Amino acid sequence: MYSEKVMDHFQNPRNVGEIEHASGMGTVGNAKCGDIMRIYLDIDENQIIRDVKFKTFGCGAAVATSSMATELVKGKSIQEAMQVTNKAVMEALDGLPPVKVHCSLLAEEAIHAALWDYAQKHQMTIEGLEQPKSDIGEEEEEEEY
Ligand code: FES
């Protein structure tokens, strides 16, 4: 059911932990399952992501996607990190079962929330970045409200 890459990142997740005095930190919850993800970013003066760590109360797919997502944004510029969508992460992992796709949103949204936090602290705008929601869900669910 899971690709070898998913199993590898689940069993040996990269970049787990936290960063003290992080440049940006973002926490999001997944409205579908109640799981939580927190991402810490260390961004240098040239706006390059020097280091990134994550912590999650999430399922195996959330762990694997976050691990891959952190690998994909590490060493990248903020604009490059904005291109790391949940789709890009899933592709890098050779896919996820359809019922687990919502789990991959946690990492993307938490990275965006951490970038938002960084932008707020530096009074800057990041192109394409919107204010994060604390709870993420699928679009159609949000329309019910
Ligand atoms: Fe909640 Fe996967 S079931 S993140």
What pLDDT, on the 0 to 100 scale, is given for residue 140?
A: 41
pLDDT of amino acid 138 = 56
pLDDT in tens, 61-95: 999 999 999 999 999 999 999 999 999 999 999 99
Q: Return the ligand 1 atom nearest residue 37 CA.
A: 4
DSSP at 98: G
Q: Which of 27, 33, 89, 135 to mutate to test the pocket of ligand 1 (most atoms within 8 A of CB)?
A: 33
**Between the CA of residue 43 and those of 21, 54, 107, 115, 120, what are the distances in Å?**
11, 15, 17, 9, 14
pLDDT of the residue at 133: 81
**Above 70 in pLDDT, residue 143?**
no
Among residues 49, 62, 89, 103, the one annotated as catalytic is 103
77 versus 132: which is more confidently predicted? Answer: 77
The label of the residue with tokens 């946690």 reads: 106
pTM for this prediction: 0.91
Q: Which domains does the chain carry?
A: 4-125 (3.90.1010.10)
Token pair 């440049």 in the structure block, residue? 23
- Cα separation, 104 vs 66, whole angstroms: 7
Q: Report CA(24)–ligand 1 centroid distance (Å).
A: 23
Contact between 117 and 25 under an 8 Å Cβ cutoff? The reply is yes
Phi, psi (rounded to 5 degrees) for 19: -120, 120
Known catalytic residue at 103: yes
Residues 11-70 pLDDT 10s: 999 999 999 999 999 999 988 899 999 999 999 999 999 999 999 999 999 999 999 999
> Which residues is 24 bridged to in the sheet?
41
The span from the CA of 90 to the CA of 100, in Å, is: 10
pLDDT at 145 over 50: no
Burial of 113: CB neighbours in 10 Å, binned 0-12, 13-18, 19+: buried
Let me know if 59 is a catalytic residue: no
Instruction: State the pLDDT at residue 87.
Output: 95
- Within 10 angstroms of residue 91's Cβ, the number of other Cβ atoms is 12
